[in-house]
Amino acid sequence: MVACSIAALALIIERFSSLKIPKVAPPQLLNEALIVSRDGVPKPDIVSQLEQNSLLGEVLASGLLALSLNPRISEDDLRSTLEGAGRQAAHKLERYLAALATIASAAPLLGLLGTVIGMIDIFGAQGGASNAMGGNPAQLAHGISMALYNTAFGLMVAIPSLIFWRYFRARVDGYLLTMELASERFVRHLNTLRK
């Protein structure tokens, strides 16, 4: 359980730092890319800067690179290029979310397992041959409370993990929608640049 809690905390911190707006989809990036490419495909160093800007920049730069490599590229191929870059960006956005969901699902079960093992141990000790008269009720109550702490700790790890998984999932979905809309607008713009 301690390992699960440390892993969940590390994943939450990593996702908070990776899913910031400037790293994923800066608000003015699409407009800047449209302005820079207004008269044609910009120079390779500008495309490279766009690619290194953010995940949305990678997607937009893929369209510019495809157009610079083949000025007569078909609209379908151009869309496919941006869709492929979008799938790669989506994979980067969803990184570690499955691990966080697994921790949220497994932590209560691990806590329950600890409780069951503790209860088996308590009742095994209370029902032994030396305790034929019934055992110590205070010791039994203390053992049961310690066993139940396992379940509580499992829930204390699972609940925040589930909350943050849902939060990050919604954030990723929002970013993906933003990137999809930006890509669609950029494809229409690139179609005007095709020869």
The pLDDT value recorded for residue 188 is 92
Q: Where do the domains of the chain lie?
A: 2-95+171-193
Helices (H) and strands (E) in the chain, counts: 8, 0
d(CA 53, CA 63): 15
pLDDT at 129 over 50: no
| 25 secondary structure, DSSP code | -
Beta-strand (E) ranges in the chain? none
Over the stretch 9-59, which tens digit does the pLDDT of each residue have? 999 999 999 999 999 999 999 999 999 999 888 999 999 999 999 999 999
The pLDDT value recorded for residue 130 is 54
| Cβ(191)–Cβ(75) below 8 Å | yes
d(CA 138, CA 140): 5
pLDDT at 170 over 50: yes
Enumerate residues 6+ apart whose C-beta is below 8 A from 152.
111
d(CA 107, CA 95): 20
User: Mean pLDDT, the chain, as a whole number?
Assistant: 90
| Cβ(96)–Cβ(151) below 8 Å | no
pLDDT at 126 over 80: no
Greater confidence (73 vs 194) lies with 73
The pLDDT value recorded for residue 86 is 96
Please say whether the dihedral angle defined by the alpha carbons of residues 108, 109, 114 and 115, taken in this order, is positive or negative.
Answer: positive
pLDDT at 85 over 90: yes
| Cβ(115)–Cβ(150) below 8 Å | yes
pLDDT at 140 over 80: no
The pLDDT value recorded for residue 131 is 52
The pLDDT value recorded for residue 175 is 97
The pLDDT value recorded for residue 82 is 95
Phi-psi region of 136 (alpha: psi -120 to 50; beta: other; left: phi over 0): beta
| 96 secondary structure, DSSP code | T
Encoded amino acid at 4, one letter: C
The pLDDT value recorded for residue 122 is 79
Dmax over CA atoms of the chain, in Å, equals 95
Q: Which string of DSSP letters, residue by residue, matches 117-173? A: HHHHHHHHHHTSGGGTT---HHHHHHHHHHHHHHHHHHHHHHHHHHHHHHHHHHHHH
pLDDT at 132 over 60: no
The pLDDT value recorded for residue 120 is 82
The pLDDT value recorded for residue 79 is 94
